C-alpha cells in the first residue's frame, strides 16, 4: 500500500514538473519570438526605404536582391508566427461551440483567397461540429492554403467532402495539383519540413504539423493519398461527440 502511494506521488510530481516545463517552453517561445519580430520589422522598413528611394542607383540586380531580402524577412515572420501557434496549441483552450460547416467553410475559402484559375467546390449538407472555432478554422485553412499554394494546373480544382465514419466524420480536401510521392507521406507532417525549396515556394513547414496536432488532440487522425502529377487528397477524422468536461481536463 505504501509503495503504491509513493508511486502515485512520484507520478503526480512528474506530471506537475512536465506541465511546468511545457509552460516554460511556451513562455520562452513567446518571449524569443517577440524579441525577434521587432528587429525584423526594422529590417523590412529599411529595405523598403532603400528600394524606394535608391531604386535607380540599385539597378535591376540590386532591386532583385532587395526583393529577396524582403521576402526572406516575411518568411521569417511567418515562421515565428507558426512556432507561436504550435507552442500555444493545447495550452490555450477556447470554449467549445457549435460550428455549422455549411456556413463556415465558404468563409474559410474566402479567407484563403483563391485565384480565378482555381475552382473550389464544397459538398452540401455538411455536419455541425463541436469544437474550438479557431482550431477548426486552422485545420481547414491550412489544408486549403496548401492546395492553392502548390497548384500547378491552369484549371485548378479543389473539392471538400465529408462522409460518415461511425463515431467520426471523415473530411477530405482533394486537389488536382502536382501530387506527392508516397515516400514523403510522413515527412510532410513533421515541423519545418518542406518538399520544395523555400525560394521556389514560400512555406514555413508548420501548417500541416498544426493540422496533425490539432486533429489528434480531438482524437482524430490525418493522412494523405496522392498520385504524382494527378493530385492529392488529405483526409482527417473528427469526432461526432466531444464532451466539455473531457476537453477541459486535457
Q: What is the CATH number of the domain that holds 185?
A: 3.30.565.10
Confidence of residue 7 (pLDDT cuts 50, 70, 90): low
| Low-confidence winner among 3-12, 25-34, 53-62 (lowest mean pLDDT) | 3-12
Q: Express each pLDDT in 55-100 by its tens digit.
A: 788 888 888 888 878 877 776 776 666 666 655 555 556 788 999 9
Residues in contact with 175: Cβ distance below 8 Å, sequence separation at least 6, in sequence order: 147, 151, 156, 157, 158, 159, 231, 232, 233
Residues in contact with 8: Cβ distance below 8 Å, sequence separation at least 6, in sequence order: none
DSSP structure class, residue 243: -
Domain C-terminal end among 39, 65, 88: 88
Q: Express each pLDDT in 98-125 by its tens digit.
A: 999 999 999 999 888 888 999 999 999 9
Judge residue 39's burial from the number of C-beta atoms within 10 Å of its C-beta, 0-12 exposed, 13-18 middle, 19 or more buried. Answer: exposed
Residue 59 and residue 104 in one domain: no
- On whether the CB atoms of residues 143 and 211 are closer than 8 A, the answer is yes
Residue 151 and residue 235 in one domain: yes
Calpha distance 71→75 (Å, rounded): 6
Residue 80 and residue 104 in one domain: no
Place of cell 481536463: 249
| Low-confidence winner among 111-120, 166-175, 191-200 (lowest mean pLDDT) | 191-200
Of 213, 204, 240, which Cα lies nearest the Cα of 75? 204
Q: Express each pLDDT in 196-215 by its tens digit.
A: 444 444 445 577 888 998 89
Helix axes 101-112, 133-149, angle to 10 degrees: 50
Residue 127 and residue 34 in one domain: no
Calpha distance 240→128 (Å, rounded): 9
List the domain range (segments joined by +) for residue 156. 97-248
Domain count, the chain: 2
Amino acid at each position: 500500500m505504501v509503495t503504491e502511494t509513493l508511486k502515485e506521488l512520484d507520478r503526480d510530481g512528474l506530471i506537475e514538473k512536465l506541465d511546468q516545463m511545457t509552460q516554460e517552453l511556451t513562455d520562452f517561445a513567446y518571449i524569443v519570438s517577440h524579441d525577434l519580430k521587432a528587429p525584423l520589422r526594422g529590417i523590412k522598413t529599411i529595405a523598403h526605404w532603400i528600394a524606394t528611394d535608391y531604386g535607380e542607383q540599385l539597378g535591376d540586380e540590386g532591386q532583385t536582391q532587395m526583393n529577396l531580402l524582403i521576402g526572406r524577412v516575411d518568411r521569417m515572420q511567418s515562421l515565428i508566427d507558426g512556432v507561436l501557434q504550435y507552442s500555444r496549441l493545447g495550452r490555450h483552450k477556447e470554449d467549445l461551440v457549435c460550428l455549422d460547416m455549411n456556413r463556415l467553410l465558404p468563409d474559410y475559402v474566402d479567407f484563403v483567397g483563391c485565384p480565378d484559375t482555381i475552382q473550389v467546390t464544397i459538398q452540401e449538407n455538411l455536419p455541425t461540429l463541436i469544437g474550438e472555432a479557431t482550431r477548426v478554422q486552422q485545420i481547414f485553412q491550412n489544408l486549403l492554403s496548401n492546395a492553392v499554394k502548390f497548384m500547378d494546373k491552369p484549371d485548378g480544382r479543389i473539392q471538400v467532402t465529408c462522409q460518415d465514419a461511425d463515431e467520426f466524420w471523415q473530411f477530405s480536401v482533394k486537389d488536382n495539383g502536382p501530387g506527392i510521392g508516397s515516400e514523403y507521406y510522413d515527412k510532410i507532417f513533421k515541423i519545418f519540413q518542406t518538399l520544395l525549396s523555400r525560394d521556389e515556394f514560400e512555406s514555413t513547414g508548420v501548417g500541416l504539423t498544426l493540422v496533425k496536432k490539432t486533429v489528434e488532440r480531438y482524437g482524430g487522425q490525418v493522412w494523405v493519398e496522392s498520385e504524382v502529377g494527378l493530385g492529392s487528397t488529405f483526409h482527417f477524422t473528427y469526432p461526432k461527440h466531444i464532451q466539455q468536461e473531457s476537453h477541459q481536463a486535457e
